[in-house]
Amino acid sequence: MRSTNEQEHPASAREASRSTDTAYHGVTIPAGAHGPRVQAVTAEESKDMAQKFDAIVIGTGQSGPSLAARLTKQGLKTAVIERKLFGGTCVNVGCIPTKALVASARAAHMARRGADFGVAIGGAIEVDMKRVKARKDAIVRQSNQGVSNWLEGLENCTVFRGHARFEAAHTVRVDDALLEGDRIFINVGARPFVPDMAGIQDVDYLTSTSILELDFLPEHLIIVGGSYIGLEFAQMYRRFGSRVTVVEMGDRLIARDDEDVSATVKEIMENEGIAIRLNAECMTLRHHDQGVAIQVACDSGAPEVVGSHLLMAVGRRPNTHDLGLDEAGIETDARGFIVVDDQLRTTVPDIWATGDVNGRGAFTHTSYNDYEIVTANLFDDDPRRVSDRITAYALYIDPPLGRVGMTENQVRATGRRALIGKMMMSRVGRARERSETQGFMKVLIDAESEKILGAAILGIGGDEIVHSILDIMYAGAPYTTIQRAMPIHPTVSELVPTMLGDLKPLE
């Protein structure tokens, strides 16, 4: 079961030929809407041919395929190179599979809570992990095949399956094929990072990629890392029926968010029986008859936790180590991210880097937004910039956290005069009706301009509701715009104006 960083070991892409409706970046691409199919060129067929393209797209993450579609639409002869799975991380081993699993976990959780709603379920709630995985796989397959069908169906586009490596600024090798491109777009993403912890060589471990292959229930899952990916797996596996312990080096979970958010997330996790071990410095791993043991020098609790399985969820690294960037003269920063400017241009003319690899975002929506920025500048005479965008992300535990703009800590750090509004979910009628009252809403306002600086909605529907605030922020309108609106009853959103009507100075 020992996991390797799969993305470091390129394999040929999954054969994807079934034409079917599919979802990509949340958009349904209807079957047959991909245009005429073009035979993909294998590396063998193109051996020793130096092929010239107007544009080369390396990687089919969340910006690569859309870039290819736009480039070909502009009449540019385009090559797309993918070494593994079409659609990249989000589609295959990221957002889509995890959110499919989160949905199964929520179904189990709500079934167990049936009695709270007056629903009697005879017998114990059982989770069939094989069926949970089969459901997840079917959802992933549909998206993955849709992306590959889409790309292979693009007119003027040649798809190469293999690992791309620069040989010079505008020359890329894919196995035996040599490609030259006037413009090159790098969308190679990132991979799970496994730190060189004491004892890691002696134990089996899972990553966010390999855990998705499990079709059984770990008896006791230990998760190293108390941030987004770790917490989603923690709650999911607890709801499936595993014992779960989260071990975090820092003194709180999701440390980039505010203390009250971290504390409430911890409470939500603990309410479901997940053990959280914070301040776990000097972690040491060792093989144990039952699986794995981890020594944790925490403030409190047993000094050793024994589990059946270990998930390492401590971050991700950009896929730049095996791309030949030095040959091309493309600069990376100290952590290996490709250095880009505000329009996502690398240090070499006519080469762009989009998605996780540029270190300017680590989400599907930031990667997709990168595609929009690049094409707006290239083709639409629209000077869009990375710095135009407002921070936005969600943590998909249940209830979810939706976050936009600045945190309270960040607002304080600016020293500006600000207002804060906060409302507990227990005061929200919709949350009470649904017996899901954990969490709170919080909003921060600039006292002078009355513009919204940021918000956190941790509670039922928080990942969706936060968009009403995000949209007002993009509109550049004052908070009074929402405050004066007439929202629909009964919703969580209807309490946002109420919260905005009770602002206090940020002390």
Q: Which of 25, 34, 83, 384 binds ligand FAD (CB under 6 A)?
A: 83
Distance between CA atoms of residues 213 and 205, nearest Å = 13
Nearest residue (CB) to ligand FAD, 95 versus 269 = 95
Distance between CA atoms of residues 324 and 340, nearest Å = 17
Q: Are 53 and 79 a contacting pair, CB within 8 Å?
A: yes
Footprint (CB under 6 A) of ligand FAD, residues 175-194: 187-190
Residues in the chain, overall count: 507
Footprint (CB under 6 A) of ligand FAD, residues 226-285: 229
Segment near ligand FAD (CB under 6 A); pick from 89-97, 177-185, 407-415, 438-446:
89-97
In 3D, which of 442, 426, 439, 432 has the Cα closest to residue 499? 442
Nearest residue (CB) to ligand FAD, 101 versus 411 = 101
Backbone angles phi and psi of 244, in degrees to 5: -135, 135
Footprint (CB under 6 A) of ligand FAD, residues 114-133: none
Torsion of CA 305, 311, 317, 322, to 10 degrees: 120
Map residue 352 onto helix, strand or coil. Answer: strand
Cβ neighbours of 385 (radius 10 Å): 13
Q: Which of 58, 254, 296, 472 binds ligand FAD (CB under 6 A)?
A: 58
- Tell me, letter by letter, the H, E, C secondary structure of 209-220: CHHHHCCCCCCE
Q: CA end-to-end span of the chain, whole Å?
A: 52
Give me the least distance between CB of 336 and ligand FAD, in Å please.
13
Give me the least distance between CB of 427 and ligand FAD, in Å please.
28
Map residue 157 onto helix, strand or coil. Answer: strand
Count of alpha carbons within 13 angstroms of residue 126, beta-carbon side: 7
Nearest residue (CB) to ligand FAD, 96 versus 428 = 96
Distance between CA atoms of residues 58 and 117, nearest Å = 51
Binding map of ligand FAD across residues 9-48, x = CB under 6 A, - = no contact = ----------------------------------------
Q: Any alpha helices (H) in 453-503, and if so which ranges?
A: 462-475, 480-483, 495-500
Region for residue 267 given its phi and psi (left: phi exceeds 0; alpha: psi -120 to 50; beta: otherwise): alpha
Q: Which of 208, 227, 332, 493 binds ligand FAD (CB under 6 A)?
A: 208
Q: Which of 3, 46, 63, 369 binds ligand FAD (CB under 6 A)?
A: 63
List 9, 287, 321, 489, catalytic entry: 489
Give me the least distance between CB of 220 and ligand FAD, in Å please.
21
Segment near ligand FAD (CB under 6 A); pick from 145-153, 290-298, 363-371, 382-390:
363-371
Map residue 194 onto helix, strand or coil. Answer: coil
Give me the least distance between CB of 158 and ligand FAD, in Å please.
14
Segment near ligand FAD (CB under 6 A); pick from 76-84, 218-226, 250-258, 445-453:
76-84
**Number of chain positions touching ligand FAD (CB under 6 A):** 37
Q: Does 401 bind ligand FAD (CB under 6 A)?
A: no
DSSP 8-state symbol, 9: S
Nearest residue (CB) to ligand FAD, 22 versus 208 = 208
Give me the least distance between CB of 395 and ligand FAD, in Å please.
9
Give me the least distance between CB of 289 and ligand FAD, in Å please.
30
Map residue 93 onto helix, strand or coil. Answer: helix
Cβ neighbours of 73 (radius 10 Å): 14
Q: How much helix, strand and coil, in percent to the nearest 5, is found in the chain? A: 30, 25, 40
Instruction: For the chain, state the CA radius of gyration.
Output: 24
Residue number of the CB atom closest to ligand FAD: 189
Give me the least distance between CB of 197 and ligand FAD, in Å please.
19
Q: Does 163 bind ligand FAD (CB under 6 A)?
A: yes
Q: Does 421 bind ligand FAD (CB under 6 A)?
A: no
Residue 287 a catalytic site member:
no
Q: For residue 314, which amino acid is it?
A: V
User: Alpha-carbon torsion 301, 306, 309, 312, what sign?
Assistant: positive
Give me the least distance between CB of 11 and ligand FAD, in Å please.
9
* Pair of tokens at residue 491: 């919703």
Distance between CA atoms of residues 221 and 305, nearest Å = 10
Q: Which of 46, 62, 104, 493 binds ligand FAD (CB under 6 A)?
A: 62
Q: Does 398 bind ligand FAD (CB under 6 A)?
A: no
Q: Which of 59, 400, 439, 459 binds ligand FAD (CB under 6 A)?
A: 59
Q: Does 144 bind ligand FAD (CB under 6 A)?
A: no
Which residues bind to ligand FAD, rule: CB under 6 A? 7, 58-63, 81-85, 88-90, 94-95, 98, 163-164, 187-190, 208, 229, 319, 323, 355-357, 362-365, 367, 396
Which residues are the active-site residues?
Answer: 489
